Amino acid sequence: MNNLGELIGINSAIFSRSGGNDGIGFAIPSNAVKIIVKAIVEKGKFVRGYFGAVFDDFGEGKVKIDEVVYDSPAYKAGIRTNDIILFINGQKIRTKGDILYILGLSQPNDILQVKYKHKNKISTTLVHLTQYPK
């Protein structure tokens, strides 16, 4: 909880030398919990959407596409290896953690608006997430 008594996270783990409650605590953000719980209540489970790319931090505040899976949602949307991801759904992307957080809360059939740089040209595309291939 924050100083106003608002829920901001759900405790998930603690790292402690003694095994007690002192140490570094980890929590799941409450916004993430709301999305996941809603899906579980409505559908009986939460399934993450499939984007189809591997990301890597590249220089100061840049995220590069290391690999795009052929015929994946990212590939079909025009995203290619070495592209730089700038924004997803209007959110500035500074680290691959930013992308992984967004994708971690996205489900099949979600559509992500991705602004990226390809060979020094800035483009925007829509990526239609699917289920992970079997």
Residue 130, pLDDT > 90, answer: yes
- List pLDDT tens digits, range 75-84: 999 999 999 9
Burial class (CB in 10 A: 0-12, 13-18, 19+), 1: exposed
Task: Note the pLDDT of residue 108.
Answer: 95
- Which residues touch 112 (CB under 8 Å, ≥6 apart)? 51, 88, 89, 102, 106, 126, 127, 129
Structural domain spans, the chain: 9-43, 53-128
Residue with tokens 């992308």: 99
> 53-128 has which fold?
Pdz3 Domain (2.30.42)
Main-chain phi, psi angles of 42, to 5 degrees? -75, -35
Q: How far is CA 83 from CA 5, 24, 34, 58, 96, in A?
A: 42, 36, 32, 11, 13
8-32 tens-digit pLDDT: 777 777 888 887 777 887 777 777 7
For range 30-59, the mean pLDDT: 87
Read off the pLDDT of residues 79-123 as tens digits, 9 standing for 90 and up.
Answer: 999 999 999 999 999 999 999 999 999 999 999 999 999 999 999
